[in-house]
Amino acid sequence: MGAKIRVTVWNEFRHEVKNEKIRAIYPNGMHTAIGEGLLEDGSFEVNYAWLDKDAEHGLGEEVLANTDVLMWWGHTAHGEVKDEIVDRVQKCVQEGMGLIVLHSGHFSKIFRRMLGTTCSLKWREVNEKERIWTIEPAHPIAAGLPEHFELPHTEMYGERFDIPAPKEVVFITWYEGGEVFRSGVTFERGYGRIFYFAPGHETFPIYYDRNIRRVLCNAAKWAAPRIVRSIGCPCVQPLEEIKSKLEE
């Protein structure tokens, strides 16, 4: 059996501190509920980081050098994430690190940075039902999942989702109130793989759900680096046999 995949779960970790109801659902922060789901699988080593952990939001050079896949949950404090840390994360993704962006992370600096679009969407909070349809059952991120599964109460995220056309649309969500959403989508940037997954509103116990945990485990395996390599812009020599001609 190969080495474990090293996942760093990053959480803004403000809601759980400030809001009693949310804390009741996630007493140790959403990140630990996400991490618990990863650890059950047995394939991962899990590290936690959050906005106020240290001066680098828990994302120092060494942490990232030891991270295969970074998960990102943020919401109210996207603006407090320092630009130099976003630069650092972007470089790591370009060089091969996987990135999994969760729910309100659609508006995070790092997601918008990787995609170049506004990442806007429609939204509504009325505790409605969500049905997630598996569009690509043969995709590794859909492994072991049924053709659809439900969340009884959710925040609605609706189209148009302002993202570049994804590489793959793995899931599309149906909402009780009348909207649809490309809720599980993949991208590649540089050597890194990116997965965005919409479910995960802080007021519902979504990260304890079996299917949601299955998606996150699958995604972390899928996003683990195939290569990690720096990217240069070298001046190169022509074919040997053409050199003399070109130097004339």
Residues 77-96 that bind its own copies (CB under 8 A): 90, 94, 96
- Please identify, using beta-carbon distances, which residue of 18 and 226 lies nearer to its own copies: 226
Residues between 116 and 145 with contacts to its own copies, criterion CB under 8 A:
116-118, 120-124, 126-128, 131, 133-140, 143
Helix (H) or strand (E) holding 49: strand 44-50
- Rounded Cα distance, 179 and 234, in Å: 48
Residues between 153 and 192 with contacts to its own copies, criterion CB under 8 A:
156, 158-160, 162, 164-165, 167-169, 172-180, 182, 187-192
By CB under 8 A, name the one of 34, 46, 70, 115 that touches its own copies: 115
Bridge partners of 134? Answer: 171
- Rounded Cα distance, 72 and 99, in Å: 8
- Please identify, using beta-carbon distances, which residue of 12 and 179 lies nearer to its own copies: 179
Q: Report in angstroms the alpha-carbon separations of 137 from 32, 144, 185.
A: 28, 9, 13
Residues between 222 and 241 with contacts to its own copies, criterion CB under 8 A:
225-227, 229, 231-239
Q: What is the CA radius of gyration of the chain?
A: 20
For the chain, the residue count is: 248
Rounded least distance, CB 133 to its own copies, Å: 5
